[in-house]
């Protein structure tokens, strides 16, 4: 029997409906809008709707698959926008903040319990859906997130991708899952796999993909930021040969770490993942070139400040000052600059622009 359904993001908070595209909406629902919420003890909830599915319509497997793809793209859009370093806003955000819950109208037969198949890779086990969601909700509550429309402005760009590119986004997103420090090595495997799949899909090679990124980035920054004197001055300080060597060295080390895990059974991670986590969304956008004007400035700014970060030891990117805990980490300063500066430029607030650039440069110099 088909039942009414809600495709919900219970850990995502919104003040009003967010129209991601004309046919895709993040909708703020209350129990007054749909009494199905009360069956699951929700008073309000963020749900996903599209042109052929409204909240409390009958469950449809194809819609379910589309929602999973939409959530993958929302995650990647968010992590392109915010690195979420753990300090300052938006603080500790993981992939679990975006968990998709499928809430089905409960059966009138109280002896019936809805279950979900889970697997350990060998055997499938039917687990109570309510218990499964309680388990999933623990991490979601830790990393719940308030979203605004501007945070997801670039969703339109990422939504045009399908198939292999959704898989690549998903591999990156899995590097943002919560885990204990002794169970962290899977990130290296996902990280290196995402790079190798993208290299092949974008018709690059392991020999030229770093050169390709550096060259395209150079042209993008030069073209997009040349009108702004303060930002262009930062660009002129860049040594692209040095940056290419630093990025090459890091990515070769990442490949070596994956090799050590897969072929030698080593689980000790000797490389900080911060570089990959900041760089990969930039590499993704640069590689699938058709970059519209809307995302071009954001992208150029992020690459410019990423290149500045490469001048310091990656182990120090997210390191808190030993005696002053209120001092921003370099990664937090990066996140703040790339998100605040576009608004300063739009409002022609050059005084504060220079203050942010100076603060970021000071952070880099202190760690150099």
- Within this chain, do residues 88 and 175 fall inside the same structural domain, yes or no? no
**Which pLDDT belongs to residue 85?**
60
Count CB-CB contacts under 10 A for residue 41. 7
- Within this chain, do residues 176 and 319 fall inside the same structural domain, yes or no? yes
**Which pLDDT belongs to residue 93?**
86
- Within this chain, do residues 197 and 142 fall inside the same structural domain, yes or no? no
- Is 224 part of any domain? yes
Domain that holds residue 184: 162-367
C-alpha 8/C-alpha 27 separation (Å) is 9
324 Cβ contact partners less than 8 Å away, ≥ 6 residues apart: none
**Which pLDDT belongs to residue 259?**
85
C-alpha 38/C-alpha 98 separation (Å) is 21
Per the CB < 8 A criterion, the answer to whether 172 and 166 are in contact is no
**Which pLDDT belongs to residue 40?**
78
C-alpha 34/C-alpha 27 separation (Å) is 12
- Within this chain, do residues 140 and 189 fall inside the same structural domain, yes or no? no
- Within this chain, do residues 102 and 177 fall inside the same structural domain, yes or no? no
| CA neighbours closer than 13 Å in the CB half-sphere of residue 46 | 24
Tokens of 348: 């022609």
C-alpha 358/C-alpha 67 separation (Å) is 43
- Is 139 part of any domain? yes
C-alpha 93/C-alpha 82 separation (Å) is 9
**Which pLDDT belongs to residue 87?**
61
- Within this chain, do residues 198 and 313 fall inside the same structural domain, yes or no? yes
**Which pLDDT belongs to residue 37?**
80
* Total tally of structural domains belonging to the chain: 2
- Within this chain, do residues 200 and 140 fall inside the same structural domain, yes or no? no
- Strands 101-104 and 115-119, how do they pair? unpaired
**Which pLDDT belongs to residue 171?**
97
Tokens of 207: 């020999």
Residue with tokens 């590499």, as numbered in its chain: 283
- Is 223 part of any domain? yes
- Is 179 part of any domain? yes
- Is 121 part of any domain? no
114 Cβ contact partners less than 8 Å away, ≥ 6 residues apart: 104, 106, 107, 128, 129, 130
- Within this chain, do residues 67 and 190 fall inside the same structural domain, yes or no? no
Per the CB < 8 A criterion, the answer to whether 196 and 202 are in contact is no
- Within this chain, do residues 188 and 141 fall inside the same structural domain, yes or no? no
- Is 130 part of any domain? no
**Which pLDDT belongs to residue 73?**
97
- Is 114 part of any domain? no
- Within this chain, do residues 352 and 207 fall inside the same structural domain, yes or no? yes
- Within this chain, do residues 177 and 295 fall inside the same structural domain, yes or no? yes
- Is 261 part of any domain? yes
pLDDT along the chain (368 residues), means of 10: 87 94 90 79 88 91 95 96 70 86 81 77 81 72 83 92 95 88 80 96 95 95 88 93 96 91 74 94 89 81 96 90 68 92 87 91 86
Q: Give the dihedral sign, CA 264/265/268/273.
A: positive
**Which pLDDT belongs to residue 155?**
94
- Within this chain, do residues 102 and 172 fall inside the same structural domain, yes or no? no
């Amino acid at each position: 029997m088909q039942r009414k359904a809600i495709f919900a993001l219970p850990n995502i908070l919104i003040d009003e409906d967010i129209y991601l595209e004309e046919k895709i909406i993040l909708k703020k629902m209350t129990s007054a809008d749909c009494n199905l919420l009360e069956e699951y003890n929700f008073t309000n909830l963020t749900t996903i709707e599209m042109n052929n599915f409204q909240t409390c319509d009958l469950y449809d497997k194809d819609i379910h698959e589309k929602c999973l793809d939409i959530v993958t793209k929302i995650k990647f859009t968010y992590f392109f926008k915010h690195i979420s370093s753990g300090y300052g806003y938006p603080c500790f955000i993981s992939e679990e903040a975006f968990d998709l819950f499928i809430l089905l109208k409960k059966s009138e037969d109280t002896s019936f319990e809805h279950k979900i198949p889970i697997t350990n890779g060998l055997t499938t086990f039917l687990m109570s859906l309510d218990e499964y969601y309680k388990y999933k909700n623990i991490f979601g509550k830790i990393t719940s997130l308030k979203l605004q429309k501007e945070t997801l402005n670039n969703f339109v760009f990422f939504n045009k991708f399908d198939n292999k590119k959704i898989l690549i986004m998903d591999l990156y997103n899995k590097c943002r899952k919560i885990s204990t420090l002794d169970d962290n090595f899977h990130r290296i495997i996902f990280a290196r796999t995402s790079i190798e799949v993208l290299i092949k899909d974008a018709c690059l090679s392991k020999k030229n993909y770093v050169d390709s990124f550096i060259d395209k980035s150079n042209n993008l920054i030069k073209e997009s930021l040349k009108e702004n004197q303060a930002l262009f001055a930062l660009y002129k300080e860049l040594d692209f040969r040095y940056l290419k060597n630093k990025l090459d060295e890091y990515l070769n080390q990442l490949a070596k770490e994956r090799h050590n895990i897969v072929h030698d059974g080593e689980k000790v991670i000797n490389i900080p993942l911060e570089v990959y986590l900041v760089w990969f969304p930039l590499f993704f956008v640069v590689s699938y070139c058709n970059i519209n004007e809307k995302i071009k400035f954001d992208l150029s700014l992020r690459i410019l400040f990423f290149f500045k970060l490469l001048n310091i030891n990656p182990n120090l990117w997210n390191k808190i000052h030993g005696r002053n805990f209120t001092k921003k980490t370099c990664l937090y300063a990066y996140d703040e600059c790339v998100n605040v500066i576009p608004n300063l430029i739009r409002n022609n607030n050059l005084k504060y622009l220079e203050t942010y650039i100076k603060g970021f440069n000071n952070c880099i110099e202190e760690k150099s």
